[in-house]
Chain A
Amino acid sequence: MPRFENLEFGDPEPQRKVAAAPQRDPLHDEHYWMKQADDERRGGCYENALRYYSRALEMDRSIIAAWVGQVRMLIAMGEFPEAEVWSRKANDLFHNNPELIAARAHALVRCGDLSKAQPLCDAAIVGVGKDAYPWIVRGECMLAGRDSMEQHCFDKARQLSPDWLVRLEIADSYVFFRRIAKALSLLREAVELAPDRAHLWYRQGICEREMRLETAARRSLQRCCELAPRHLEARRNLEQMDRRGWWPRMVLRRLFSRE
């Protein structure tokens, strides 16, 4: 029996709650789930990617990339207030991490709170290493503030990472702020880099459809269906394009279309 077990020295240090270690399968560790999440994200399955990021965090809560990934998936799915809440929590856990700060700024921009987003974006840029994400967020901040210099930030992001995913994310920002033509040019670049990605063809098709480039949109969506025969959204869009009636709006669109 220890001699000093019952002595009182003020408030004892609060006992930290420690998670029960999950059954660790050596093949399915956090790195495995992170890779799965990344694959799903590249395939445009953001819901699945979010789930895999959570699985990775269940294994190891200190993986910052997974926290950032969660926030980015929430943003990609349009759940901006939730992304803001989650990024705030992540920032509370990991102080001064540039990627997490950038993620919070990203969520804030999408929520429309540019006043809070801008200082955070600046802070993220100060601490940034070779990651493109803070530059994308900064570009988006400028886009939201109707600043014409956003192109420089996006160019910087593209320089830092030649990955097609960066182009897709920049295109996402442009689409969100209804600059479809710019988004389309980036998507075309991304398609050139990764022509075997169905999701890229789908996104390109959607942008072309938005710009009333019907033939090009049909070609892109059909290519998407060839690469991924189960891509329901692409099929639905193709069916919608086939259902061309004679409503005045459609007639006007046809008259003033660019083809």
Chain B
Amino acid sequence: MQCASCHFENMPGTTVCGRCGTSTTLATDLMDVHPPRARPAIKRLRRLSKGRPVLRWPATLHFHRAAPAWRNPPGMRRFDWGVFWRLAAPGWAHFHTGQARRGRLFLWIYLALLLGGMLSIGTFLQPLLLGLAFSVHASAVIDIILPRLGPANRGPRIVFAAVCSLILFLALYLPAGWLVTRVGSPLRIQQDSPPFSAGDAVLVNRWAFLASAPSRGQVVLYGLPEWRTETGDPGGHGRRIYAFYGERIDRIIALPNDRVRIDGARLFINDQPSDILPLNPANMPRQFSMTIPPDHYFILPSGSPPPIADEGWRIMASVPRDQIHGVAYLRTPVWRLLIIR
């Protein structure tokens, strides 16, 4: 009596193969020979997911200790860097490991939150949405790494997840955040001064003048040269002290060594009429003239209330080069969006 599985010749009358244990009476045993089938609805669902299979341990991100010898010679340990560096973008590592559906989910949620955060700069929603985007990214990283830890208690898993988030923050978001705040540092406007209103945020590129000098017409963030003045009887009743200082946003009107003259509402630079005006031309002095000192730029602080004396204009409008911090280029939030030129 030959076994159907291993073709071992058994003694007559035996019911189980002596070599492999397969039943020798299978040919006539009563059993269901029709395989289970997937229902059409289930098939449709599977077709919808349309992804490659989820490759679990040890396909990815591991030291190939458990892999068979033909894959790795003994003693050789290999780390899957392909997955590791793809953790930089949420969902990318999932795509790499074949979890396309999950990867797509992580990626789109992240992009939606990031876009929302970018569009709501200057509002209370911005930190909320950006924080959520970060947590989605951290979840994506944890989702890739944690299953590969194997069975572990809840405590170590929580600690590991926290460590993953911290590493992600330190390795990616801290440098990226620093970079972004250099080229797109948001600055909240505290009081109305056209074209800005209280509550607006202005994006400032603080690296704009690393390689080039400021030019005429640029709207810049600068430190106002400090100027104080007093009115009324010094030491007596009705004495008032005016102090002008802090950071302002306004347009560069003239460059070092230029001659500036304001006559009524008209502005002349080197005796040529200029169409470059400060952001709020209504606050310009009526009559004014000066020559800009070397390494200084002429920026009229038109957003603030006008100074009382002519001397104040001279001091405050000639801004040293090192006090110009960056170029202001965008007014947010999205419903008050304005490209500043």
Interface residues of A (CB under 8 A from B): 16-19, 21, 50, 54, 57-58, 60-64, 70-71, 74, 78-83, 85-86, 93-97, 109-115, 118-119, 122, 142, 144-147, 176-178
- Interface assignment of B341: CB less than 8 Å from any CB of chain A: no
A94 touching B5 in the complex, CB below 8 Å, given contacts A19-B30, A78-B46, A144-B59: yes
Cβ–Cβ < 8 Å partners of B5 in chain A: 64, 94-97
Within 8 A of A (CB), among B56-84: 56-60, 66-68, 70-71, 82
Please list 6 pairs of residues, one from A and one from B, whose beta carbons are closer than 8 Å in the complex, sorted by A's number: A61-B29, A61-B33, A94-B5, A97-B5, A97-B6, A146-B82
A contact residues around B53 at 8 Å (CB)? 80, 109-113, 144
Interfacial chain B residues near A177, Cβ < 8 Å: 52
Is B35 a contact of A122 with CB atoms below 8 Å? no
Question: Which chain B positions have C-beta within 8 A of A50?
Answer: 35
Q: Can you name the residue of chain B whose Cβ is closest to the Cβ of A74?
A: B35
Q: Scan residues 29-62 of chain B and give those whose CB is less than 8 A from a CB of chain A.
A: 29-31, 33-38, 43, 46-47, 52-60
**Interface size class, chain B:** 35 or more
State in angstroms the CA–CA spacing of A64 and B27 once bound together: 11
Q: Does B25 contact A (CB under 8 A)?
A: yes
Q: Which residue of A lies closest to B20 (CB)?
A: A95
Q: How far is the CB of A10 from chain B (nearest CB, A)?
A: 18
- Please classify the interface of chain B as helix (H, G, I), strand (E, B), loop, or mixed, using the class held by over half of its residues: loop
Contacts of B27 in A (CB 8 A): 60-62
A246 vs chain B, min Cβ distance (A): 26
Alpha-carbon separation in the docked complex, A19 to B53 (Å): 39
CB distance from A88 to the nearest CB of B (A): 11
Residues in chain A near residue B98, CB distance under 8 A:
112, 144
Contact residues of B between 14 and 29, Cβ < 8 Å to A: 15, 20-23, 25-29
Give CA–CA (A155, B194) in the complex, Å.
75
Distance of A115 from chain B, by nearest CB (Å): 5
Residue numbers in B under 8 Å from A118 (CB-CB)? 67-68
For B38, what are the chain A residues with a Cβ–Cβ distance below 8 Å?
Answer: 79, 81-82
Q: Which residues of B contact A79 (CB under 8 A)?
A: 37-38, 43
**Complex-state Cα separation, A84 to B58, whole angstroms:** 19
Task: Give bound CA distance, A95 to B3, whole Å.
Answer: 11
Give the Cβ gap from B52 to chain A, nearest Cβ, in Å.
6
Residue ranges of B at the interface with A (Cβ–Cβ < 8 Å):
4-6, 15, 20-23, 25-31, 33-38, 43, 46-47, 52-60, 66-68, 70-71, 82, 98
What CA separation (Å) do A19 and B28 show in the bound complex?
6
Nearest CB on B from A34, distance (A): 13
* Contact A21 to B28, CB < 8 A, known contacts A94-B5, A118-B68, A122-B68: yes
Q: Given A17-B30, A122-B68, does the pair A145, B52 have CB atoms closer than 8 Å?
A: no
Smallest CB gap from B98: residue in A = A112
Question: A58–B33 contact, CB under 8 A?
Answer: yes
Question: Are A145 and B59 in contact, with the CB atoms below 8 A?
Answer: yes
Residues of A within 8 A of B31 (CB): 19, 61
For B36, the closest partner residue in chain A by CB is A82
Contact partner, B22, options A17, A63, A71, A95, Cβ 8 Å = A95
Residue among B15, B47, B56 with the highest chain A CB neighbour number at 10 A: B56
Q: Which residue of B lies closest to A109 (CB)?
A: B53
Chain B residue numbers with a CB within 8 Å of A93 are: 22-23, 26
Residue of B nearest to A144 (CB): B55
Which of A18, A63, A144, A178 is close to B30, meaning CB atoms less than 8 Å apart? A18
If A93-B22, A95-B5, A142-B71 are given as contacts, then 10 extra A-B residue pairs at C-beta distance below 8 Å, sorted by A number, are: A61-B29, A62-B27, A79-B37, A79-B43, A85-B36, A95-B21, A97-B6, A109-B53, A113-B56, A146-B59
Verify B54–A78 contact, CB threshold 8 A: no
The chain B residue sitting closest to A111, CB to CB, is B53
Contact A112 B36 (CB under 8 A): no
Of the candidates B20, B33, B36, B66, the one having the most CB atoms from chain A within 10 angstroms of its own CB is: B33
Q: Which residue of B lies closest to A145 (CB)?
A: B59
